A = this chain, B = another copy of it.
Amino acid sequence: MNLSDFLKALVPFTTEELDDILRHFTKETVAKNQLLVRQGEVSKTLYFIESGLGRSYYLNQSGKEITQWFFGSGKFMASADSFFQQCPSLYYIEILEDAVIYSISKGKLDELFDTYPKMEKLGRLVTTEMLTKVVNKLNAIQFQTAKERYEYMLAEFPDIAYQVPLGHIASYLGMTQETLSRIRKSNSSK
C-alpha cells in the first residue's frame, strides 16, 4: 500500500494537492532491527509504512521489553505521545522487517494541516481509526482470557502473528511467553 493511494482512498485530494503533499514526505528504506525512535527522545517524525513491519515497545521496571503496538504496511507509525505532545517518548520504535517508509516532520505536517483543510480531515480520520483499534485492544486485554486475547490478535494482525518472535507478541498481549507458547500448543492440537 503506497502513501498516495492511501491518502486518496480517505480524502478526495486533487492531483496537485496530492503531489504537493507527497513532496513533504521523504521516502526511505530501513533495515530490520533498526531503531527509529528511542525512549526519552522527543520524536519529531511521523512514519508511513509502505512495506515492512514495525513495532513500538518500552522497557518496564524490570527492564523487559513490552510491545505496545505493531505497525504493518499501509499504516502510520509514531510514538503517539511524543509526536503529538512533543514530550520525551516513552517508547522505542523498531523495524522488525525490512521496510520502505515515508517520513514527515512535525513541522512539515503542521504546514500541511494549515494549508489543506482536507489534511485536517485526514488527520481526524486516521486518529479516529487508531482510537477505535486501541479501544478494541483495551477491551480484549481487560476482559478476556489469555487465549481469547491471542484470538483477538490473530484477527487484528493475522499476517503478523507468525512472523515475529513469540516474546514480542506475548508482551503485546499482556502475558508471558510461556503462557502464549502453551496457548499455541493447545490451539494447534484441536
A-B contact pairs, 11 of them (CB 8 A): A60-B143, A68-B135, A81-B135, A113-B124, A117-B117, A117-B120, A120-B120, A131-B131, A138-B138, A141-B141, A142-B174
A interface residues, tally (CB under 8 Å): 27
Q: Which B residues are CB-close (under 8 A) to A60?
A: 143
Contact present for A131 and B174 (CB under 8 Å): no
How far is A2 from B139 in the complex, measured between Cα atoms in Å?
31
Chain B residues with CB under 8 A of A84: 128, 132
| Chain B hits for A139, CB < 8 A | 68
A134: interface (CB < 8 Å): yes
Are B128 and A138 within 8 A (Cβ)?
Answer: no
Known: A138-B141, A143-B60, A174-B142. A120 touches B124 (CB 8 A): yes
Does A12 sit within 8 A of B, measured CB to CB?
A: no
Q: A130 CA to B139 CA in the complex, in Å?
A: 16
In the assembled complex, which residues on chain B have CB atoms less than 8 Å from the CB atom of A143? 60, 66, 174
CB interface residues, A 57-71, toward B, < 8 Å: 60, 66, 68
- Complex alpha-carbon distance, A84 and B128, angstroms: 8
Q: Is there a chain B Cβ closer than 8 Å to A29's Cβ?
A: no
Which of B81, B124, B142 is A132 in contact with, Cβ under 8 Å? B81
Asked if A8 is at the interface of the complex by the 8 Å CB criterion, the answer is no
Verify if A80 is at the interface (C-beta below 8 Å from B).
Answer: yes
Give the distance to chain B from A64, nearest Cβ to Cβ, in Å.
10
Q: Are B132 and A130 neighbours in the complex by a CB distance under 8 Å?
A: no
A71 to B74, CA, bound (A): 33
Contacts of A85 in B (CB 8 A): 132
Report how far A170 CA is from B174 CA in the complex, Å: 20
Closest to A142 in B: B174
Chain B residues, CB < 8 A from A142 = 141, 174
Give A106-157 interface residues, CB cut-off 8 Å to B. 113, 117, 120-121, 123-124, 127-128, 130-132, 134-135, 137-139, 141-143
